[in-house]
A and B are shown apart, each in its own frame.
Chain A
């Protein structure tokens, strides 16, 4: 009996091997392999490094004895901060230079937007220019009551900062603009006014 069982088992195994071999051949005949191939993929080591490289207080007008205080300007992590500034009478002005630098960036950069933000609770009027990405805000002058804030390409504050429009990758380039805050009202205010946290936001994007 045991011998018979073994013989039967061997026969079944042989039959299964033959059947599976036939099925494999059939499957191979009804199968297609398609390939999608990319020969060479190259990644370039790209760097992006546009920053505020320096700031300086350069001009002031108006006697400090009658309420003109230009505070100090500093920069940290691309945020430029001017400490508390006081302007009290027509002609009082504080002016600072700000230098933007394209360090080791390998990419071209363009001015994406330049936004002036009004002091808290103030209504301001804005002057725009057209160097920013189409459709984006591009403001360089903001008049808020007696105070005018300007980011200009010249010290006199008359030109929009079009020099900031772009940076060319691969070369270290610096561009300086002038931040002016000026008492442009016609007469002093009879009561103290504080304008809190006005600012300009400059955004560069890859080009």
Chain B
């Protein structure tokens, strides 16, 4: 038994010596690498994209020959975050309304349109697709020109950086048209009321 104990102690001693030796050897074969930033700077940027509120009551351009009781193009009310038109009533070929408004970039970062969506929350039946809302015989377009041919898309809409005093501006147009052109198309248009049509424009960093 005494011999066995001696043998055990000897083995433990040898193992301790080996471990210490390995540790020293590992330390000798190790390297510490340091990646060091001299400094990390933050530039001063501001973010402020909004509707231009220079004119808060925007009168539309409209078909001047159709000023009957069945033709209504209310003025648009503009706030920093929304453009609202209360009532639109169209009834004949050639009827149209165009509202012009601007988006301002008061921020010092360039901005781009990251998403455009359209919806109808209220009554009626409409189809929506990006910058186009079609409700029966009336079509709304959110466009970059008065004719409504250049629709607003995420790929063609951005704003350069502005400043807190001098914003960069983007001119946009909301256009509503009565679209039928033939007698058959006109006579097929049923009366209908659609409520709460909305375009949502999301702007993000460019």
* Interface positions of A (Cβ within 8 A of B): 27, 29-49, 106-108, 206-207
Among B1-9, B18-26, B81-89, the stretch in contact with A? B81-89
- Is B92 within 8 A of A33, CB to CB? no
- Is A31 within 8 A of B87, CB to CB? no
Contact size range, B: 35 or more
Contacts A32-B47, A32-B49, A41-B197; is A47 near B202 (CB within 8 Å)? no
- Is A31 within 8 A of B199, CB to CB? no
Chain A residue at minimal CB-CB distance from B203: A32
- Is A37 within 8 A of B196, CB to CB? yes
Give every chain A residue within 8 A of B43 (Cβ-Cβ).
none
Main secondary structure of the interface of B (DSSP, over half): strand
Contact pick for A44, options B86, B91, B142, B204, CB 8 Å: B91
Give every chain B residue within 8 A of A37 (Cβ-Cβ).
82-85, 196-199
- Is A39 within 8 A of B72, CB to CB? no
Q: Does B98 reach chain A (CB closer than 8 Å)?
A: no
Whole-angstrom distance from the CB of A20 to the nearest CB of chain B?
A: 16
Q: In the complex the two chains form, what is the Cα distance from A45 to B86 in whole Å?
A: 20
Given A34-B50, A43-B137, A46-B187, 14 further pairs, Cβ under 8 A:
A31-B202, A32-B47, A32-B111, A34-B83, A35-B81, A38-B84, A38-B88, A40-B87, A41-B176, A42-B88, A43-B189, A45-B190, A206-B92, A206-B93
- Is A44 within 8 A of B70, CB to CB? yes
Q: Does B61 reach chain A (CB closer than 8 Å)?
A: no
